[in-house]
Structure 1
Amino acid sequence: MNLEYENRRVLIVGGSYGIGLASAKLAAAEGARVAIVSRSAENIEKAAAQIEAETGHAPLTIVADVTEENAAQTIADAVLQAWGGLDVLVTAVGGSIRSGFADLTDEQWLGNYTFNVLSTVRTIRAFLPMLGEGSAPAIVMLGAAASKMPYAHQVVSNVHKAGLLGLNKTLAAELAADGIRVNLVAPGRTLTPLWTNRADKLATDEGRTRDEVLSDFSKDIPLGRFGEAVEIARMVIWLASPCASYVTGQAVNVDGGIARGLL
């Protein structure tokens, strides 16, 4: 299928690793002009080299920490200067704190809210003028399957990712008149650095191997395994493409079946 990405301008916030990087590679391979954002200059340099080596296209790189108040506007200014506009915005940032509810401080709640929700709000707001003038403009947010089936001891992420569901539905309706589609991809357990690092820590603490830890966490996934980042990225890139022109306001799980609710 031709996803009609040739010369489209695609920005991926959180594009230096995991699902964001996989999405950047797919978009570049489809012929898009790709920009990636990371707070780590070292990580973004490595990611850019991978994208160019695998696709033949060198991405625009922007070093910024989206948890900082003015970062979104800095990113928008850089994109406007380089390209004069934007067609696709993908926000692939977020994380969780593994803790019981009673042990969490206000500072942890607020810090994670900034990371998971406010950074996305600020980024979308900064790019609305450009997207409104873009070609078949689309926004895709990365959420989590936990927003539909909360995990134990991850209350902060459960609450904030559920908030992204509300943001997704609200913006899809509000921005439809401007021709901007808005969707969300909710990954399940995926082999990204977030999970492999966690598995390594548990393996060290419990005297086991990474594979043993991951195997245990795979037992309640109907497909019996973790996802690969590229499997999530395929949905991201399809939803952001003109091929999904009648799809907006949807939160699509790509989770191996782990979230079993009806809605």
Structure 2
Amino acid sequence: MSNCWEQHRVLIAGGTNGFGLVLAKLLCRYGASVMVLGRSAEGVRDALIQCEAAAHEAGYSKNQVQGITADLSHDGEGNRVVAQCLEKFGGCDSFFFCVGQSSRAVILKLAPQEI
């Protein structure tokens, strides 16, 4: 059976802790190229170390893991993140949005600063 995640380019917002980090490490183990996005440079650095180790342990290159520090609630940050993903991976096949906190609202109706 083939691995559907190999050659897959993934961007994970909120990939520095919690579910986002678990997902990032898992996808690295399956051979995906993963870009981890977080608001803290230290958090991104720590997540990269863990993701690189997960990729290496599974026999994949740790070069498939990239990180970027950004706050998507700020104007223009989304464009910068997409440009970085295009530069490093040549595109993005999947985007996971693992940020924010639980609230009783439809995410599509929230302003960026409320997420």
Instruction: Give the TM-score of the pair, scaled to structure 1.
Output: 0.37
Higher strand fraction (1 or 2) = 2
2:100 paired residue number: 94
Residue deviations 1:19-66, cap 9 Å, x none? 000000111111111101001000110110011112213411111011
- The reply to whether residue 6 of structure 1 matches residue 12 of structure 2 is no
* Aligned-partner SS, 1:94: coil
Instruction: Give the 4+ runs in structure 1 shifted more than 4 A.
Output: none
User: Aligned AA for 1:26?
Assistant: L
Q: Distance in 1 between matches of 2:15 and 2:3?
A: 20
Q: Distance in 2 between matches of 1:28 and 1:17?
A: 15
Identity %: 36
1:68 paired residue number: 74
User: Aligned AA for 2:104?
Assistant: N
Query: What are the within-5 Å matches in structure 2 for residues 146-185 of structure 1?
Result: 157-159=103-105, 163-164=106-107, 167=108
User: Aligned AA for 1:62?
Assistant: I
Structure 2 gaps, min length 5: 57-61, 109-115
* Aligned-partner SS, 2:104: helix
Query: What are the within-5 Å matches in structure 2 for residues 100-139 of structure 1?
Result: none
Do the aligned partners of 2:26 and 2:54 also contact (CA within 8 Å) in 1? no
Between structure 1 and structure 2, the one with the greater Rg is 1
Q: Distance in 2 between matches of 1:80 and 1:2?
A: 25
Work out which structure has the larger RCO, using CA pairs closer than 8 Å and 6 or more positions apart in sequence.
Answer: 2
Measured on the aligned residues, the alpha-carbon RMSD in Å equals 1.5
Structure 1 gaps, min length 5: 97-156, 168-263
Report the count of equivalent residues.
102
Residue deviations 1:78-122, cap 9 Å, x none? 1111122111111111114xxxxxxxxxxxxxxxxxxxxxxxxxx
2:41 paired residue number: 41
Q: Distance in 1 between matches of 2:39 and 2:33?
A: 20
